Amino acid sequence: MPFVFIIIIFYFLLIRPQQRRARQHSEFLQKLKRGDSVLTSSGILGTIEGITDKFVTLEIADGVRIRILKSQIASLANQNEDQKK
């Protein structure tokens, strides 16, 4: 019986919040559009120049574009600055 309680606690403390974060990140990625300033998970700041189902083209400097996986976008750049204040 105590084992069941441990599993229930484990679910509510670890698994459920992780599923919620994954769902929120997926919804965030669907709302991205051309012109958004974003921060990647590797710390690169850029502006979205093109977007497909799996990939995003970012302009990271004048005339410098990189193509990354859409899932590697961590947040909007201006959203990250607002959190620091």
> Tens digit of pLDDT for each residue in 20-70?
999 999 999 999 999 999 999 999 999 999 999 999 999 999 999 999 999
What is the pTM assigned to this prediction? 0.73
Rounded Cα distance, 35 and 77, in Å: 12
For the chain, domain boundaries: 1-31, 33-85
Rounded Cα distance, 66 and 48, in Å: 10
Pick the CATH number of 33-85 from 1.10.357, 2.60.40, 2.30.30, 1.20.120: 2.30.30
